[in-house]
Structure 1
Amino acid sequence: MTHPRGRRLRRLAAIGAVAIAAALLTAPVSGAAQAAEGNTIPGVDEIVSSPNLKQVAHRDKIGPFANSTNSDWAFQGKYAFSGNYNGFTVYDISNPKAPYEATQVVCPGSQNDVSVSGNLLFLGTDSQRTDDSCTSSGSTTEKPGARWEGIKIFDIRDPLNPQYLKSVKTDCGSHTQTLVPGKRGDPNVYLYISSYNLSTVDLPNCALPHDKISIIQVPKRNPQAAKVVATPVVFPDGGYGGDGEEKSATTGCHDITVYAEKDIAAGACMGDGVLFDISKRTAPKVITTVRDTVNFSFWHSATFNNAGTKVVFTDELGGGGLATCNERFGPKLGADAVYDIVGKRKLVFRSYFKIPRTNADTENCVAHNGSLIPVPGRDIMVQAWYQGGISVWDFTDSRRPKEIAYWERGPISLTEEIGGGSWSAYWYNGYIYSNDIAKGIDVLDLRDPRTNIAKLFRTDEFNAQTQDNYFRW
């Protein structure tokens, strides 16, 4: 059956999913993911993994993107849209074991986060450019009002020939973006634009205090009319003030994940974790906030479980450039934090999770982008850890999360610090797709009795920050 809006989910015909799920979830498991054996640091570019997670494909970055940073993913049908600081690549993944570059669109501007919805692709720019074209250059001399950053909108009715339609300028640009489906009968989709100013002074086009998000309304039938319709201040009290050192102050949000069916969103807002009510799409309201001034330094991203009763927040200690997966930082710094949503939608801390392997001190490694794996009755997600690789972990028991699979590529260098590793690792239609900052893309096959049921589920469209109910037929 086709989902009425958002990510459209369908079941393979004649599959008794509930019965199969029950059988698989009670099947014997031959040991854990053997993560404890991962304390031996692999050699340069050496690939190591647990027995249940294997690489089935790799593609190097090519052409104008060969020496530029890969970023986030979005998926639609047989295509994967890979963000890159120089634009985006459209991969044909009709055969996940043999993906190939269908086309590349050169359009510079970090981070170039991507989202897709129907015939539209949204590309986020968080670096000041001379103008909104795809031939612009980095701007350092233009007057502040003339500098551009924000969202670019492309028509992808023909994914092999995307057409640039429209730009929307936003304050502070668009570090990340979240696609928000409209409610029933609403002819629009919305983008929640997260951006921030960590400086102590006003920046061009980003005056302090920047305690707001920008909301773009996009008429699905007339995307040329897209515009900013609201800039709600979500931290009227200024949020967390930081400690002047490692603990970041709150100034806007870094990333927001929505669960539209439940009218809630989770915001990772640098110094605060936030739960929003988004029943009115253009006026999100803060329900509750949480802080961790002991172990969290930079609230980076958020993931709901499928039931919408838990949130996993990540801490990007060091901004993605620090080696935190070692004995110096231990198991609680640069980690995930699992929160239950209890009572009148309050966030209650339950545990931390961090990959249990020691990385080299030259490897940037910290919690980063991931997504749920659709397993009925379980809370399991896959997650990128930069050069720490890719981890599959189970947080069904909020107090005792555990890793069940891992895959990693050895350090880029054992003698000097070079940034790289998996930026985003997401589950899409039976496989894990990793966008590696430096190396290109990797496709992984997870084969485990605890997760095999997930291979039966299909979605026509996937944006990691736009969650939906996997099991609503």
Structure 2
Amino acid sequence: MSSTLRGWRRRVSVAAIGAATLAIGVLTAPGASAQDFPGADEIVSSPNMKHELNIPPSAPLAGTGSTGTDIAFQGHYAFVGNYLGFTIYDIKNPRKTKIVSQVLCPGSQNDISISGDLVFLSTDSRRSDDSCNSVSQNDGSKAYWEGIKIFDVSDKRAPRYVKAVETACGSHTHTLVPSKDHKTAYLYVSSYSPSASISKCQPPHDKISIVEVPLRNPRAAKVAATPVLFPDGGNPGDGNPYPNGTSATTGCHDITAYPEQDLAAGACMGDGVLFDISNRLAPREIDRVQDDAHFAFWHSATFNNAGTKVVFTDELGGGGAATCNAEIGQERGADGIYDIVGRGDNRKLVFKSYFKIDRFQTDDENCVAHNGSLIPVKGKDIMVQAWYMGGIQVWDFTDSSKPKKIGFIERGPAADPDTGGGSWSAYYYNGYIFSSDLGKGFDVISINDPRTNPAKHVRMDELNVQTQGRYGR
């Protein structure tokens, strides 16, 4: 979620920012006739997708301040972030998923990843200290802390806080990049929006922080490098207001790594970047692209399995606006598909097409391209993706120029504005789709389609979606 709307939680009134929508029906399946919008909290889907289970938020990660965020997986467990902490779910039988433990440790966004027995959390809000008992410290001139927290989860029923590492401007997201000998985890920490009024987040902030974690001695974790990625300052932005403006680059929102190929793709506000990460502590730009006519905020990135394409997302409206409507259209708040052409330092990101859901949403539903993952079908490029209250979409970009819909599932507008929000992350793992909803908790979804069913035979032991590996060898 963009910093411009970090304080947003549940309901958004798009009328307040001047965006309108048309009452155009939802298609429940390819070729189906138009129908009315789904009712409040009503779940609708294409015939090939089914909602199996929802586990709503529960204490202590419920109520004021609770917002579901990202997901990591290991074995038969899912680790789900929340602005108030994180939850460990047992997903051995996905249809009977259950909570194993919950950790109360406030600090947005609590973006999460896992390596072995270690869980890493991002804190991108100024806190009074680095403990799990801290309180908000909004005055940037007073003492505060933000950065990375590390937990030992060897006992899933009783996670243990191990270490905190402070980083400049906090940690909005982080990306786990293993060292080549797999003895060290490097965390590429993305943060942005510096201000002269914030003592530890001064402009310019054209860099990332790289936290080095010795896996056998996580207490020795430290900031090992702070490489400047944009010595030229990056995209200056155009100063235009929503919905037509482009963000200035003051850091990165998210980075996805493909360590086996020594590649990373940076979604950096006003820029999309391809990096060489053969030297883990010194990412080096290979190519950079901008799209000021269509992209407002480069939010996240996904490689295809071959590492020959990148899907970038545009978080138009910061995750708090209803951008899935006729007025905004199909080329903003969308995915941008880029082929990687050439070799070595001559590789280029070449734009091929946009992809966006075609189910128009009401003006009470925030909707924009958000977090997703590949569905591991050998020889195909298929992705499942969250669109906040636009639901979850499965789509095929094997032909970069002609992406195709496969299936979807979504809820209607929230009956209770305090439990709205939509899917933040929708990821495929070992046969099922798992979704972290901002307000409604954890969802389990199945898909039965000949185009995706081969993925059911692919098993993974660990999955951090922003750390991609090759499947189908």
Q: Which residue of 2 aligns with 1:256?
A: 255
The one-letter code matched in structure 2 to 1:278 is I
Question: What is the distance in 2 between the residues matched to 1:250 and 1:360?
Answer: 31
Q: Which residue of 1 aligns with 2:161?
A: 164
The 8 Å contact of residues 194 and 205 in structure 2, kept in 1 or not, is answered as: no
Deviation (angstroms), 1:258: 0.2
Deviation (angstroms), 1:420: 0.2
Question: What is the distance in 2 between the residues matched to 1:157 and 1:240?
Answer: 43
Where 1:459 maps in the other structure, the secondary structure is coil
Q: Which residue of 1 aligns with 2:274?
A: 275
Q: Which residue of 1 aligns with 2:22?
A: none
Where 1:109 maps in the other structure, the secondary structure is coil
Question: What is the distance in 1 between the residues matched to 2:237 and 2:140?
Answer: 32
Q: From 146, 149, 153, give the equivalent of 2:150.
A: 153
The 8 Å contact of residues 128 and 145 in structure 2, kept in 1 or not, is answered as: yes
Deviation (angstroms), 1:362: 1.0
Q: Which residue of 2 aligns with 1:26?
A: none
Q: Which residue of 2 aligns with 1:378?
A: 380
Deviation (angstroms), 1:64: 1.9
Task: Show structure 1 runs of 5+ residues with no match.
Answer: 1-31
The 3 A distance-change label for structure 1 pair 311 and 43 is: same
- The answer to whether 1:234 aligns with 2:229 is yes
Return the TM-score normalized by structure 2: 0.90
The 3 A distance-change label for structure 1 pair 141 and 274 is: closer
Q: Which residue of 1 aligns with 2:412?
A: 410
Where 1:102 maps in the other structure, the secondary structure is strand
Where 1:371 maps in the other structure, the secondary structure is strand
Please list, as runs of the form range in 1=range in 2, the aligned pairs for 1:212-227 lying within 5 A after superposition. 212-227=207-222
Q: Which residue of 2 aligns with 1:193?
A: 189
Where 1:261 maps in the other structure, the secondary structure is helix
The 3 A distance-change label for structure 1 pair 310 and 468 is: same
The 8 Å contact of residues 35 and 50 in structure 1, kept in 2 or not, is answered as: no
Q: Which residue of 2 aligns with 1:112?
A: 110
Where 1:158 maps in the other structure, the secondary structure is coil
The 3 A distance-change label for structure 1 pair 143 and 198 is: closer
The 8 Å contact of residues 197 and 203 in structure 1, kept in 2 or not, is answered as: no
CA deviations on 1:125-167 (whole Å, 9 max, x unpaired) are: 00000000000000135744x3100000001111111100000
CA deviations on 1:214-263 (whole Å, 9 max, x unpaired) are: 00010011110000000000000000000112210001100000000000
The 8 Å contact of residues 322 and 363 in structure 2, kept in 1 or not, is answered as: yes
The 3 A distance-change label for structure 1 pair 198 and 312 is: farther
Where 1:251 maps in the other structure, the secondary structure is coil
Q: Which residue of 1 aligns with 2:12?
A: none
Where 2:130 maps in the other structure, the secondary structure is coil
The one-letter code matched in structure 1 to 2:470 is N
CA deviations on 1:282-320 (whole Å, 9 max, x unpaired) are: 000011100001010000000000000000000000000
Question: What is the distance in 1 between the residues matched to 2:468 and 2:42?
Answer: 34
Please list, as runs of the form range in 1=range in 2, the aligned pairs for 1:40-439 lying within 5 A after superposition. 40-67=36-63, 68-141=66-139, 143-144=141-142, 146-183=143-180, 185=181, 187-197=183-193, 201-245=196-240, 246-343=245-342, 344-412=346-414, 420-439=421-440
Deviation (angstroms), 1:202: 4.8
Q: Following superposition, which runs of at least 4 residues in structure 1 exceed 2 angstroms of deviation?
A: 35-40, 140-144, 201-204, 416-419
Where 1:458 maps in the other structure, the secondary structure is coil
Deviation (angstroms), 1:471: 1.8
The 8 Å contact of residues 256 and 266 in structure 2, kept in 1 or not, is answered as: yes
- The answer to whether 1:469 aligns with 2:470 is yes
Question: What is the distance in 2 between the residues matched to 1:197 and 1:382?
Answer: 29
Segment drifting more, 347-356 vs 64-73: 64-73
Where 1:205 maps in the other structure, the secondary structure is coil
Task: Show structure 2 runs of 5+ residues with no match.
Answer: 1-27
**What is the CA RMSD across the aligned residues, in angstroms?**
1.6
Question: What is the distance in 2 between the residues matched to 1:39 and 1:153?
Answer: 48
Where 2:318 maps in the other structure, the secondary structure is helix
Question: What is the distance in 1 between the residues matched to 2:431 and 2:136?
Answer: 39
Where 1:392 maps in the other structure, the secondary structure is strand
The 8 Å contact of residues 194 and 201 in structure 2, kept in 1 or not, is answered as: no
The 8 Å contact of residues 362 and 418 in structure 1, kept in 2 or not, is answered as: no
Q: Which residue of 2 aligns with 1:8?
A: none
Deviation (angstroms), 1:34: 1.6
The 8 Å contact of residues 274 and 287 in structure 2, kept in 1 or not, is answered as: yes
The one-letter code matched in structure 1 to 2:107 is G
User: Percent identity between the aligned chains?
Assistant: 64
Deviation (angstroms), 1:464: 0.7
Question: What is the distance in 2 between the residues matched to 1:250 and 1:39?
Answer: 41
Where 2:95 maps in the other structure, the secondary structure is coil
Deviation (angstroms), 1:361: 1.0
The one-letter code matched in structure 2 to 1:214 is S
The 3 A distance-change label for structure 1 pair 360 and 418 is: farther
The one-letter code matched in structure 2 to 1:224 is R
CA deviations on 1:63-115 (whole Å, 9 max, x unpaired) are: 12222101000111111111000000111111100111111000000000110
The one-letter code matched in structure 2 to 1:193 is V
May I ask how many residue pairs the two structures share in their alignment? 437
Q: Which residue of 2 aligns with 1:6?
A: none
